[in-house]
Amino acid sequence: MYEFKRIKRLPPYIFAIVNKLKMDARRKGEDIIDLGMGNPDLPTPKHIVDKLIEAARNPKNHRYSASRGITQLRLAICEWYKRRFDVDLDHETEAVATIGSKEGLSHLTYAMIEPGDLVLTPAPAYPIHPYSIIIAGGDVRSVPIGAGDSDYFNKMNEIFKSSWPRPKYLIINFPHNPTTACVEIDFFEKVVAFAKENNIIVMHDFAYADLTFDGYKPPSFLQVPGAKDIGVEFFSLTKSYSMAGWRVGFCVGNKDIIGALTNIKSYLDYGMFQPIQIAAIIALRGPQDCVTDIKKTYEGRRNVLIQGLRNAGWVVEPPKATMFVWAEMPEEFKKMGSLEFTKFLIKEGGVAISPGIGFGEAGEGFVRFALVENEHRIKQAARGIKKALNKGS
Ligand SMILES: Cc1ncc(COP(=O)(O)O)c(C=O)c1O
């Protein structure tokens, strides 16, 4: 029997348990509404798909591409930052394209972390935030995402000061998956000052920059003067342009960190398929009303789910951003734990969601709904949940 140390440090994937139950029920012919994984169901806007097709017909685009992204893509990324956030970036030294942000942040961690290094990550967490550290041989210190950003900041400070060796790297992610927590620019100002004072590198995951509701405008970490001295930000086309399967993202900011990611990637990959890069340029430079349409669709679904849960007697605060609803479990089901509760909702309500425990211990007592089915199906899901809750209580 082979044993691999790095793999042994990874716990069993909890979402796989839920997935299997969902698939078993579907095989039996049951209609399961899937609000589990944050896998966008909306089609990629037509003008982006058309560009991909046109570029794929050109044999020049069939060769290996540039691992750090072709020049025009890096230029388009920097223009997008300037337009959106008035942040100046140099496309040669401060931007690198990635095969989705998950690839980028995992390889960046791999490039920077040495065995035994400590890293601060949010808790609960999008799994690759802590597990990229574990895979790289580092150790994680979790900072609980509590109520309000000053609360988070104070806890981070406390955990930093009580850790030895001192954490080297801080991962943050706002709007946050799974809790949907959001911050304002003053939070990032405090983070930059903290990082400078304590010599810590910051990696901000900005995957939900565009999926914001009720007029909320999320700040970019790089808007803070001096942020580029100590950190980088990841963005992804996955959610904003509904391009999940395409695998396109990028990382921008500090040139030494971008250099490290560019370097490790040059050993590991030959870049995204060039037609995908060309289509990504069109996404970033083209009309942005498709992004507004996508965000409005999620907002509509959010409203339907919150209302449906309310009708089922489950009152949840509507999120200001992301494509998720993070809900504290109804009191009478808490004893069950989030995994058993999730199994119960599949069986009795025909709805698959994600158990909070899948995002780490700090997620226990909560569940996450991904808004990846249409409003009609979400209404149906809420009726299924109501039936299940009535039966179980
Ligand atoms: C916080 C966060 N970061 C990154 C990703 C991954 O995005 P990508 O498709 O760009 O790898 C996700 C996807 O759900 C996410 O929620």
SS3 sequence, 317-381? CCCCECCEEEEECCHHHHHHCHHHHHHHHHHHHCEECEEHHHHCHHHCCEEEEECCCCHHHHHHH
DSSP state string for 249-310? EEEEE-HHHHHHHHHHHHHH---S-HHHHHHHHHHHHS--HHHHHHHHHHHHHHHHHHHHHH
**For ligand 1, is residue 249 a contact (CB within 6 Å)?**
yes
**For ligand 1, is residue 65 a contact (CB within 6 Å)?**
no
**For ligand 1, is residue 327 a contact (CB within 6 Å)?**
no
Give the bridge partners for 321, in sequence order. 212
Give the bridge partners for 95, in sequence order. 252
Which ligand 1 atom sits closest to the C-alpha of 103?
11
Question: What is the pLDDT, as a whole number, of residue 391?
Answer: 87
Residues of the chain with CATH 3.90.1150.10: 5-44+290-392
Task: Give, for all 393 residues of the chain, the pLDDT tens digit.
Answer: 898 888 888 887 788 888 888 899 889 999 999 999 999 999 999 999 999 999 999 999 999 999 999 999 999 999 999 999 999 999 999 999 999 999 999 999 999 999 999 999 999 999 999 999 999 999 999 999 976 777 889 999 999 999 999 999 999 999 999 999 999 999 999 999 999 999 999 999 999 999 999 999 999 999 999 999 999 999 999 999 999 999 999 999 999 999 999 999 999 999 999 999 999 999 999 999 999 999 999 999 999 999 999 999 999 999 999 999 999 999 999 999 999 999 999 999 999 999 999 999 999 999 999 999 999 999 999 999 999 999 877
Burial class (CB in 10 A: 0-12, 13-18, 19+), 321: buried
In the numeric block, which tokens belong to residue 301? 């679904």
Residue whose CA lies nearest to ligand 1 atom number 3: 207
Distance 207 CA to ligand 1 centre (A): 6
Contact predicate 281/76, CB 8 Å: yes
Distance 312 CA to ligand 1 centre (A): 31
Backbone φ and ψ for 299, nearest 5 degrees, come out as -65, -45
Distance 372 CA to ligand 1 centre (A): 15
In the numeric block, which tokens belong to residue 78? 């920097």
**For ligand 1, is residue 101 a contact (CB within 6 Å)?**
yes
Q: What is the DSSP letter of 185?
A: H
Q: Domain 5-44+290-392: which topology?
A: Aspartate Aminotransferase, domain 1 (3.90.1150)
Contact predicate 45/290, CB 8 Å: yes
Residue whose CA lies nearest to ligand 1 atom number 6: 102
In the numeric block, which tokens belong to residue 314? 């489950």
Residues of the chain with CATH 3.40.640.10: 46-285
**For ligand 1, is residue 244 a contact (CB within 6 Å)?**
yes
Question: What is the pLDDT, as a whole number, of residue 146?
Answer: 78
- Give the span between the Cα atoms of 74 and 34, in whole angstroms: 36
Q: Domain 46-285: which topology?
A: Aspartate Aminotransferase; domain 2 (3.40.640)
**For ligand 1, is residue 345 a contact (CB within 6 Å)?**
no
Distance 245 CA to ligand 1 centre (A): 11
Question: What is the pLDDT, as a whole number, of residue 393?
Answer: 72
- Give the span between the Cα atoms of 183 and 203, in whole angstroms: 15
In the numeric block, which tokens belong to residue 55? 């570029």
